[in-house]
A and B are shown apart, each in its own frame.
Chain A
Amino acid sequence: MGRKQTPLRPYFEKMPDIGKALSDAEVRRTEENVGLLKEQEDLIKEAIEKVRLSGTPAEALHKRGQMTAYDRLEYLVDPGTWCSLHTLYNPADNEEGCTGVIDGIGKIEGKWAIIIAFDNKVMAGAWIAGQAENILRVTDLAKRLNVPLVWLTNCSGVKLMEQENVYADRRGSGACFYRHAELNQLGVPILNAIYGTNPAGGGYQGISPTILLAHKDANIAVGGAGIVGGMNPKGYFDLESAEALIEATKGFKAKAPGRVETHFDETAYFREVHDTEKGVLDGIKDYMKTLPAYDPSFFRVAEPAEPKFAVEDLNRIVPFNQKRPYDALQVVARITDNSEFNEYRPDYGVEVFTGIAKIDGFPVGIIGNRQGIFPKYPEYADYPGVGGKHYRQGLIKQSEFVTLCGRDNLPVIWLQDTTGIDVGDVAEQAELLALGQSLIYSIEKTDISMMCVILRKGSAAAHYIMGGPQANNNNAFTLGTPLTEIYVMHGETAAAASYARRLVKEQEAGRSLEPVIEKMNQMVQEYVDKSRPIYCAKRGFVDEVIALPDLRKYCVAFTGANYQNPKSITPVHQMILPRTIKG
C-alpha cells in the first residue's frame, strides 16, 4: 500500500491539550472528598446488590441446572464492555425492588448491542409494574443508537395479583411489541434467546423479535397451560369451587403449549434449538457476526487513546460540597482521548464550554457548565455571573454548537452541573426565556444522539434544555453520579415560595409561626430525600448511577454504538465545525 492517513488530519490528529495533573496539595486536601464519595458509592453498591439478590436465590436455579439471567449475560457479553442501565429503576416501588429486567449496552462478538434479559429469579421473569416503561426505554435506546436489540427472554407473563399495574394503558406491556415492530421496520434487528415458559405476553415477547433461537425446554404460546380453572360460573369462590379447583389441578397433566415440537418442528418459527443454555447464547453470538457494522476505522479520526490523566482523579476534582466550584475542563480531561479538547468560542458565553473531542478515536461534541464566578459577565447585568447558571451568550453558544454538531453528525455528550437560567426583568429583556426554548428547538432540529451526565446538579429549566432525558428523540440515556441532585429548585427556595404568604398571614393573625416553620423544614427534607442519586435512579430521572471513574467507559460505549451503523454520514473532510473553530 502507498501512503495512508486519518481524515482531516490537521484538525483531528492533535487537538489542543487540556487539564493538568493534580498537585500534591490537591491530592492532600481532597482525601476527604474521596471518602465522602466512597460512602455514596457504597450506598449505591448496596442498593445494586439488593437488586441482584432479588427473587429466588441463584443457587436454587443452579441446582435445577439453570443459569440466571446474570450468568447468561456474563457468558454472552464481551468481557469489559458491559455498561449496565436501569439497575435501580423501580418506579412503582415493587416489593421485588426492581422491574424484573436487566439491561445495558455491551459488545457481543465485537459489535455493540442493546441487551436486555428477563430476570428469571424474579417470579420466573414475570411482567411486573414499571417493567413496560423500562423496556420502552430500552427499545427507544436501540432505535436512537440504531444498534441491534438482543433479548434474553424468559417471561412467565403478568404477575396476576397486580395486573392493573402492568397490563393495560398506552405504555402498558403490549406497547413493547409495537416497539419491536417499529424497530424491525426501521431496520434494527432484534435477536431473541428464548428460555423457559413464555405464555400470553411471554408468547408475544417470544414471537415479536426478528430472529428466534430457543432452548430445548422453551415454549412460547398465545396462552399458557396454567389456566386450569377456566371461568367460575358463580362469580365468586366458595368451599365447593375451591375443592373442585384442587381436584382439577391435581389431575392436570397437560404440557405447556408452543414447545419446540410445535415451533421448531411444525411452524418453524425457531431458527435454532439448542440443548444447552449456553448453546442458545452461542447461537446469538453467531447471529451477531452476521449483522452489519462499520469497522470503527471507517469513522475514526485518530487512533484511540486513553486520557492522559487518571479517571480516578474525578473523585478529587468534583467536590462533594455542592457550594464548591471546580475546573470543569479538568473533568473533560479525564474523559477525552489524550485529554484533548478543541473548544468552540471559549471567550463567548463563558459559563458553558462547548467543543469537539475524540472518544476512542471517534469525534464527538461535548457541552458542559463551567463553575466559579464570572466578575464582568453577563454583559447585560450589573451582577456577576455564577457558574452553573445560564446567560444570554451561553444559551446562544449552545444553540449554535448543537446546530453545527447536527450538521456534522457529531454525537453530543452533555456534562450538566446546573442550577438554572438567570432570572429577573433584565434576564427577560436579555431574552433568556426564548433562548432556552431555542436551544430545545436546536436539539430537536438535529437527528443526533446525545448522552447526558448529571455530574452534580440538574435543576430548573436548565436540566431539560441541556439535552436532559426530556429530549426524548435525542437523549440516548442519562447518567447520574454519586453527587447527583435533581430537583426543580432547591428545597429552601421551594419552601419559601410555598409558605411565604402563609407566614405573613399567621404573623398578622398573631398565631404561632412554629407549625408553618415545621412544614417548611419537612418540605426541605423531602426535597433532599427525593433528589438523591438512588431516588433519581429508582424513579428513572437518570438511567443509571455510576461511579465517576466509570464515566469514560460509558462515553466509549455511547460513542462506539453511535458510530456502528449511523443513519446519516457527514464526510469528515466536509465538516464545518472544526473550520468554524479555527476561523
Chain B
Amino acid sequence: MADLIAPMSGKVQKVLVAVGDKVEVDDEVIILEAMKMESPIFAPESGTVKEIKVNAGDNVAEEQVLIVIE
C-alpha cells in the first residue's frame, strides 16, 4: 500500500484517476497548482486506487495524503 502525498501546499487542479483504477508506477494521478505552476504528482508504485481523499479545487497542505494506492 502506498500513500500519494502532496510534496507542497497548493490547490488540487485535477484528479486523473477514479477509485478502482489500475495505475502503473510513475503514472500521473493528480495535478496540483501552486505558484502559478502545475505540478503533476506521480504514482509511487503500481496498484489499484483504493481511496481518493481530495477533490478538484481543494487546498491541500504539504505532506497531506491525497490518494491511497493498494
Are the CB atoms of A23 and B26 closer together than 8 Å?
yes
User: Which residue of A is nearest B27, CB measured?
Assistant: A25
CB distance from B65 to the nearest CB of A (A): 18
Number of interface residues of A (CB under 8 A): 16
CB distance from B23 to the nearest CB of A (A): 9
Are the CB atoms of A324 and B35 closer together than 8 Å?
no
- A24 CA to B46 CA, complexed, in Å: 13
User: Which residue of A is nearest B16, CB measured?
Assistant: A29
- Taking a contact as CB atoms closer than 8 A, the residue among A24, A324, A373, A384 that contacts B40 in the complex is A324
Are the CB atoms of B24 and A373 closer together than 8 Å?
no
Are the CB atoms of B35 and A25 closer together than 8 Å?
no
- Looking at chain A's contact residues, the main secondary structure is loop
- A375 CA to B34 CA, complexed, in Å: 11
Q: Give chain B residues whose Cβ lies under 8 Å from the Cβ of A387.
A: 37
Residues of B33-69 at the interface with A, using a CB-CB cut-off of 8 Å, are 33-40, 42, 62
- Taking a contact as CB atoms closer than 8 A, the residue among A25, A373, A375 that contacts B42 in the complex is A25
- A28 CA to B25 CA, complexed, in Å: 12
Are the CB atoms of A26 and B26 closer together than 8 Å?
yes
- A524 CA to B24 CA, complexed, in Å: 40
**A372 interface contact, C-beta 8 A:** yes
User: Which residue of B is nearest A383, CB measured?
Assistant: B35
- Taking a contact as CB atoms closer than 8 A, the residue among A25, A323, A375, A384 that contacts B38 in the complex is A323
Q: Give chain A residues whose Cβ lies under 8 Å from the Cβ of B70.
A: none
- Decide: A325 near B37, CB < 8 A? Known: A25-B42, A373-B8, A375-B8: yes
Are the CB atoms of A324 and B38 closer together than 8 Å?
yes
Q: Give chain A residues whose Cβ lies under 8 Å from the Cβ of B35.
A: 373, 384, 386
Q: Give chain A residues whose Cβ lies under 8 Å from the Cβ of B25.
A: 23, 25
- A375 CA to B37 CA, complexed, in Å: 14
Residues of A225-275 at the interface with B, using a CB-CB cut-off of 8 Å, are none
**B28 interface contact, C-beta 8 A:** yes
Are the CB atoms of A373 and B39 closer together than 8 Å?
yes
Bitwise interface map of B from 9 to 25 toward A, beta carbon under 8 Å scored 1, else 0:
00000000000000011
**A321 interface contact, C-beta 8 A:** yes
User: Which residue of B is nearest A375, CB measured?
Assistant: B8
- Decide: A386 near B27, CB < 8 A? Known: A25-B42, A375-B8: no
Are the CB atoms of A324 and B24 closer together than 8 Å?
no
Are the CB atoms of A373 and B34 closer together than 8 Å?
yes
Are the CB atoms of B37 and A386 closer together than 8 Å?
yes
- A324 CA to B34 CA, complexed, in Å: 11
User: Which residue of B is nearest A386, CB measured?
Assistant: B35
- A324 CA to B35 CA, complexed, in Å: 11
Q: Give chain B residues whose Cβ lies under 8 Å from the Cβ of A372.
A: 37, 39
Q: Give chain A residues whose Cβ lies under 8 Å from the Cβ of B37.
A: 323-325, 372-373, 386-387
Q: Give chain B residues whose Cβ lies under 8 Å from the Cβ of A325.
A: 37-39
- A552 CA to B6 CA, complexed, in Å: 36
Q: Give me 14 A-to-B residue pairs in the complex whose CB atoms sit less than 8 angstroms apart, sorted by A's number.
A: A24-B24, A24-B26, A25-B24, A28-B27, A323-B37, A324-B38, A325-B39, A372-B37, A373-B8, A373-B37, A375-B62, A384-B8, A384-B35, A386-B35
Given contacts A324-B40, A325-B38, A373-B37, 11 further A-B contacts (CB under 8 A): A24-B24, A25-B24, A25-B27, A25-B28, A29-B27, A323-B33, A323-B36, A324-B37, A373-B34, A375-B62, A386-B36
